[in-house]
Amino acid sequence: MTMLSIEGVHTFYGNIEALKGVDVSVETGEIVTLIGANGAGKSTLLMTICGRPRASKGRIVFEGRDITGTETFEIVRLGISQSPEGRRIFPRMTVLDNLQMGAISTDPSYFTEDLKRVFTLFPILERRQEQRGGTLSGGEQQMLAIGRALMSRPRLLLLDEPSLGLAPLVVKQIFEVIREINEQQKVTVFLVEQNAYHALKLAHRGYVMQTGQIALQGTGRELLGNREVRAAYLEGGH
């Protein structure tokens, strides 16, 4: 069943057209990755799903419901949660406060259970509970960003470059957790990545974006084997 379908979406920043008619679909239960060069429009697409900025043309449908014009703060209540580009941890709030912010759209009675689940995924966060977000290391911030996104009990998790700037070991750990979230907690994942090798290995399907348009699509394996993809995103080590 199609969970998210993005149909012919155009997005502008002023008069710069960042998305020029994008079509993407994500099936329930999948991990779908979106790769592409810097400035291709990947983050813009994730943010457009959440209505910031809003698509100026096209349609975004989530679980059969047109959400193109839905207010940003309503999106999370429908079951979509985003860990955006740059992590956007609240720097002057503690780890616990950040996680509580993640839960602000849900019934408070879930909180303890959800918190425990996040601490099981990322034990380091439990030890850092009282530390201010801004003083966490990059890797810890990334874990907090994903943890915070999970606190809203999403059915669709949007992740923007979760591996950016992390040591290889931590990258492996993060991708492992994404798989776990998908397999055990049945959360569908739409993953934007620069780390194309890891992302395509993890994902069921992938899209390649070039200057605001989808240039290629296929299963993770197909794209890993594709000559253009190898040349542009994979050669020179992973």
Ligand X SMILES: Nc1ncnc2c1ncn2[C@@H]1O[C@H](COP(=O)(O)OP(=O)(O)OP(=O)(O)O)[C@@H](O)[C@H]1O
* Full DSSP string of the chain: -EEEEEEEEEEEETTEEEEEEEEEEEETT-EEEEEE-TTSSHHHHHHHHTTSSPPSEEEEEETTEE-TT--HHHHHHHTEEEE-TT----TTSBHHHHHHHHTTTS-GGGHHHHHHHHHHH-HHHHHTTTSBGGGS-HHHHHHHHHHHHHTT--SEEEEE-TTTT--HHHHHHHHHHHHHHHHHS--EEEEEES-HHHHHHH-SEEEEEETTEEEEEEEHHHHHH-HHHIIIIISS--
Rounded to a whole number of angstroms, the minimum distance from the CB of residue 42 to Mg ion is 5
C-alpha to C-alpha distances, 112 to 34, 109, 117, 151, 169, nearest whole angstrom = 33, 7, 9, 10, 29
Our finding on whether 133 is near another protein (CB under 8 A) is yes
Our finding on whether 210 is near Mg ion (CB under 5 A) is no
Using the rule CB under 8 A, which residue among 42, 148, 198, 205 binds another protein?
148
Our finding on whether 213 is near ligand X (CB under 6 A) is no
Considering only residues 108-127, where is the footprint of ligand X by CB under 6 A?
none
Using the rule CB under 5 A, which residue among 85, 97, 126, 222 binds Mg ion?
85
Our finding on whether 73 is near ligand X (CB under 6 A) is no
Our finding on whether 97 is near another protein (CB under 8 A) is yes
**What mask, x for binding Mg ion by CB under 5 A, covers residues 43 to 62?**
x-------------------
**What mask, x for binding another protein by CB under 8 A, covers residues 53 to 92?**
------------------xxxxxxx---xx-x---xxxxx
Considering only residues 28-67, where is the footprint of ligand X by CB under 6 A?
36, 38-44
Site residues for ligand X per CB under 6 A: 13, 16, 18, 36, 38-44, 85, 194
Site residues for Mg ion per CB under 5 A: 43, 85
Site residues for another protein per CB under 8 A: 50, 52, 71-77, 81-82, 84, 88-93, 97, 100-102, 104-105, 133-134, 148, 152
